[in-house]
Amino acid sequence: MALHKDEAIVLFKRSYGESDKIIRLFTLSSGKVAAIAKGANKSQKRFANTLEPFNRIRVEYFEKYGRGMVRIENADIIETNSGIETSLKKACTAGFFVEFVDRLTKERERHEDLFNVLAEILQGIRGAEFTYDDILHYQLRMLGILGFMPNFHTCVYCGQAMAADEKIFFSRERGGILCHKCAPSLPHQVCAEGVIAGIVSVQQANGNVAGSQDAWGCAENGPSYLDNGFERVAQDIMEGFMTFHLDVELKSYRILKGLIA
């Protein structure tokens, strides 16, 4: 049996039997991997607090323990989750992105970009509570990496390029905006002017500045959509899109939504 060495982010853990733990890892080289940590429940020393959710670790494991699982041999910390457990909102935000990765990737599918974004997110949350714009930015980045970016730029039906103030019709089913000619004949929701433009500016901003008021340059954006129910409408658009196209409803999102409302 070959010993694999990798870097990983711990997505979930649960007890298994009296003395073992089952862990879901998101590894840098092999994507999502199910693992068993023998004796992790019995001997606190063996893995100390290494295999806690949101930890970034170095891991050594053997293929295959059975049922497609690997057996963790050694693990040590690169970056702990410390700082994330200090507030419910931080823990829920981290939980949302971890669930996002868990539900939208397949086992053993390598996703180096997604790994790096998740690591960046968790690092950001350790430092500061995310605003809704932070959450939206990273949600869009992850969707982009996975090839599921909604189209906020051209009419999804006729391909017409559109100016910011024309972007008011969103089609959940078609995954993007509609122009005023196509909208009447297709199901859509009407968004206040500036909401779609606001989403685009959040999408295009350089992230990694969680907690900073000016992180997204929204103030320069004209319409005061931030005071205008932007969050509620943007959330609604994203939620409808994710449910329709990816067939996922993230449990953690329901809780998080209550906290960012």
User: Residues interacting with Zn ion, by CB under 5 A?
Assistant: 155, 157-158, 160, 179, 182
Closer CB to Zn ion, residue 97 or residue 157? 157
Structure tokens at 217: 């340059």
Q: Are 197 and 190 in contact (CB under 8 A)?
A: no
Least Å distance, CB 159 to Zn ion, is: 7
| Runs of H (alpha helix) within 15-157 | 44-47, 88-104, 112-127, 132-145
CB of 28 to Zn ion, least distance (A): 42
Both structure tokens of 45: 């020393």
The residue among 51 and 179 lying less far from Zn ion, judged by its C-beta, is 179
CB of 176 to Zn ion, least distance (A): 10
**What's the min distance (Å) between Cβ of 204 and Zn ion?**
22
Nearer to Zn ion, 155 or 237 (CB): 155
Pull the structure tokens for residue 69. 């699982």
Q: Do the beta carbons of residue 105 and residue 171 sit within 8 Å?
A: no
Confirm if 28 and 9 have CB atoms less than 8 A apart: no
- The least distance separating Zn ion from the CB of residue 185, rounded to whole angstroms, comes to 10
Q: Tell me whether residue 179 or residue 195 sits nearer to Zn ion (CB atom).
A: 179
At 18, give phi and psi (nearest 5°): -80, -30
**Residue number, 80 or 160, with CB nearest to Zn ion:** 160
For 220, the token pair is 């320069």
